[in-house]
Amino acid sequence: MIFMHENVQINPIFNDLEEYKLNNNKVLRVIIVVMLVAVVLALILTSVVPLVN
């Protein structure tokens, strides 16, 4: 009974998360792309700056 009670509480949260993911899929992709670009730029800068100096 305790396990069933936990499922009743957890399922709505998972449903909300699924809807949240679907609604914000494009936003998440943009954020991920921006973060990847930032990481690549940081790596390039850290590898180029010592060469320049």
Task: Give the burial string for 36-45 (b: 16+ CB within 10 Å, else e).
Answer: eeeeeeeeee
Query: Which of these, 27, 29, 48, lies nearest to 37 by C-alpha position?
Result: 29
1-53 pLDDT tens trace: 445 555 555 566 667 777 766 666 777 788 889 999 999 999 998 888 777 76
Model pLDDT, residue 1:
46
Model pLDDT, residue 41:
93
Model pLDDT, residue 22:
67
Model pLDDT, residue 27:
78
Model pLDDT, residue 13:
65
Supply the angle between the helices 25-52 and 2-23 in degrees, to the nearest 10.
70
